[in-house]
Structure 1
Amino acid sequence: MPVVGERPDDAPAASGALPGARITVVGINYAPESTGIAPYTTDLARQLVQLGANVTVVTGMPHYPAWRLDPAYRRRLFTTEHDAGVTVLRCRHYVPGSMDAVRRAWYEASFGLSSLLRTLPVRADAVIAVSPALSGIGVAAAASKRSSAPLGLLLQDVMGAAAAQSGVLGGSRVARLTASAEAHLVRQADLVGVISTSFVGPVAAYGVAADRIRLLPNYSQAHVDVRDQAAARRRLGWPAGFCVTHTGNMGLKQDLGNLIEAARLLDGRATVRLVGDGSQRGDLELQAADVPSVQFVDPVSDEAYADVLAASDVLVVNERPTVRDMSLPSKLTSYLAAGRAVVAAAVSEGATAFALRDSGASILVDAGNPAALAQALSSLADDPAARASLGSAATRYAAQHLSRAAALDRYADFVSTLVGMSGRTAGRRRLTGAPS
C-alpha cells in the first residue's frame, strides 16, 4: 500500500536539477511579505532557479499581515519584477480591511481574475499552485491545461475546513460550497504537497490517491536562531521582567482576545506583547485598553524578529476553539528554532497540538479558556528551570526536524518528480473513486 511521501515505483526519480525547465508558480503571497506563507513560496521559487529552472511567479500585491495594500503599489494594476532570478508577475486585487464571507469571496475572485489575465500568455513545463487562495488553484489548473503541463499543489491551508473553522462571519454558510470547489480543484493536481499529516485525511477524502500525496512540512526560516536574551532585549529596548509574546497575524482564527483576557487575569505579572498586524488589531487594541500589561508592536524586520523571539520568556500560539485541521501556524517553526518555551491554546486533537506534542517543547491548554492560559503562563513565570527545559527541547526538535536545507531538498524532489510527469496524460491515475 502506498505511503504518503514515498515515490511510487513507476514514477520518475527526481533528478535534483531542472536545467531549462519552465515552471510557473501561482500564489497570492510572496516577498517582501515576511510572515505567513510568503517566505515559503519565495524560497521555493528561488530554489528552483538555483536548480536551473526558468521560474515565473504570478502573485498578488504585498498586503499581509496588515491586510492593507503596500503604499508602494497603490497606483499599480500590474507589475513585472525580478527577484533572485525569478520573474515576478504581480496583479492587483481587492484587500479587505476586515474579513467576512462576502469580503473573502471578493478577495478570491479579484485575484482569480487578475491572475488569470497574467497567466494567459505563460507557457510552462510544470505549474504549481500554493493554497490559499483557492482561486489561485483554479488559475493554475487552467494554465496547466493550456500548456499540457502537470499540475502540482502545495496546501498550506485546507480552505474547506477554514471556511467552517475560522470564525469568518457567514463562514458556516459557505463552508460546504468552498469544500466542494476545493475538492474539485485538488483532484486535478498530479501531485499534492501537504505541510502536516493532519491534512492527509481531508485531501484523501477529496479523492486524491495516496501515491499522489507528499509530506512537505514547513521549516525554520534562515534568520531565526538561538540568541542571548539579554543582548536581544538591549537591541530592542525591552526592559527586564517576565515577557510573553505572540507574533504574526491578528485575525479571526488567532482569537487573540483570549490572550488579552489571560493577561488581565495575570494582573501585571507578565508583559504580554502582540507583535504583528491583522484585520482584528483595532478591536484587540480596544479590548486591551484597560490592560496596561498588554503592548502592541508593529511588524518588524527579519533580523529584529529573531530578536523578538529571543527576548521573550514564553512564546504563545492561540487559536479559536473551532480550529482543528484547517492550517498549521507558520510561526511554529520559528518559535521552536528560537529555543524558547511555547504555550499553545489550541484544540487538543488539532494540527497545532499534534505538532507541538511531537516537539516536547510546549504546554498545551484548551482553546478559548483564558483562565487555563493564564495558569500555564503563571506556572512558567515561577519556574525558570521549566522554561529552560522546554526551550532545550525546542532547540533539539528544530535541529532534527526543521532543517531548511532538508525542506528545500524535499521541494526540489517534489518539483523534479512533477516535471518528470510532463508528456504523460495528466491526472489519469489521480482519483481513488471520490464522488463527482
Structure 2
Amino acid sequence: MTFDLKRYSNALSRLVAQRSVSCALPQWDTSNKAVIEQLAEDFTELGFQIEIIPVPEHPGKYNLLATLGRGEGGLVFAGHSDTVPYDAQHWSSDPFTLTEREGKLYGLGATDMKGFFPAVMEAVRDIDAAKLQAPIIVLATADEESSMSGARALLDTGVAPGRYAVVGEPTGMRPINMHKGILMESIRVLGKSGHSSNPALGNSALEAMHEVTTELIRYRQELQSRFHNPGFAVAVPTLNLGCIHGGDGANRICGECELHFDLRSVPGMHNDELRADINRRLAPIAERREIDIVFSTLFEGVDPLLQPRDSDLIRACEALTGASAEAVGFATEAPFYRQLDMQAVVMGPGSIDQAHQPDEFIAIEQLPPAIDVLRSLIHHFCLGSAPTTANHKGQA
C-alpha cells in the first residue's frame, strides 16, 4: 500500500492541534478529552468499536480502547495521548500547528507520541476485518508524562486488552525489550528546634539526616554489588540524592530536614521491595535518635521492563526491522502491560532525541518503513501469516 503523506499529516495535524499537556503543576495540566475524542472519531471511520474510559479520581482524564475484530488474544498498539509542557517562545512555529519543513513534521507531540497513532491508522487501512483471527486493539492512555494514571487505571482492572503490546514510543523502530525502572521519594526528618547554645534544648534533624544519607549511600553500594545488567549503558542501579532542605538559621537547632532522591532500577528489582528495604534500614536511626522519619512518594514509579529476547513478539520485531532488541534508559508504560501477563515491546517511529524540547519533529522518511512493520505485525499476529525479514535497518 502506498504511503499517503497528506492523509497521515492531516490525521496528525488534528491531534497536535488539541492540547493535552499533563503535568504535576496544576497551571500546566489540561484534560486530554479532545485528543481522545479525535482518536475515537478517526478509528470509528476505520471500523473500530470504541470505548472511552474515564480515569478514576482524575477528572478530565480519559483512556481510549478501540477494537477491530473479535477473538482471543490480539495485538495492542499502545500509546499515550498527552504531551509535556512547552516553551512557545523557543519554537520556530506554533507548537499546535503541524508544520512541514525539510522532510520533517514539526509540532508538540509529533514524535512523543501522537505521531504513532496516524501510523497505526495507515497500517490498518487495508486490513479486512472479516479475515482477522485475533483482534487489533488501539489503546490511548492519559498522563504518561506525569503520573501514568491511565496505565495504572488499566492495571487496576486486572484485564489485559490483548496478548501482545507494541508501545509506540519513538525508538527509530528499533525494538526495545528492556528499560530501567524509576521511583522518586521524599524523606522528611522531624526533629525539634532550639537554641544552638545548648544541644539538649532540641533534636537536630540535620544530624539525623546525615545518618540517613550515609545509610542511603551504603544501600546504593550494596545494590550495585548485587545487580548488574550489561545491556544498559549504566549497567548498575543508580540512586541519586537530588536535593536537600533543612533548618532556618545558624543559631537554631534544625527542627526539620527533607531530602528528595530517585532510584533507577534494573530488571530483577521491584519498587515496592526497594521502598520496604529503605524503610527498614532507616527505622533504627529514628529509634536511636528518638526522632520521626517520614517516608513518602513523589512519583509512584515504574518497575523495570524485561521482555525475553526469545519471546514471540521480540523475535517477530527483530525479523521485521532487521534490528536486534536493545535497552534504553527512559521509562515507559510497557511494564504495566507485562504485569497483565502481556508480551510487550517498545517500538515506534521518531527519535527520543527530539522529545521534550522546542521544535519537536518526526522525520517523514521514517514513516513508510514504520507503517510496513506495523502492518506486518498485524498480518503475523492477527491474520496468521509468518513474519518476513525486512531490510529497515537503515531507518533505525
TM-score with structure 2 setting the length? 0.27
Q: Which has the larger radius of gyration?
A: 2
Q: Which structure: greater strand fraction?
A: 2
| Relative contact order higher in (CA < 8 Å, ≥ 6 apart) | 2
TM-score with structure 1 setting the length? 0.25
Q: Which structure: greater helix fraction?
A: 1
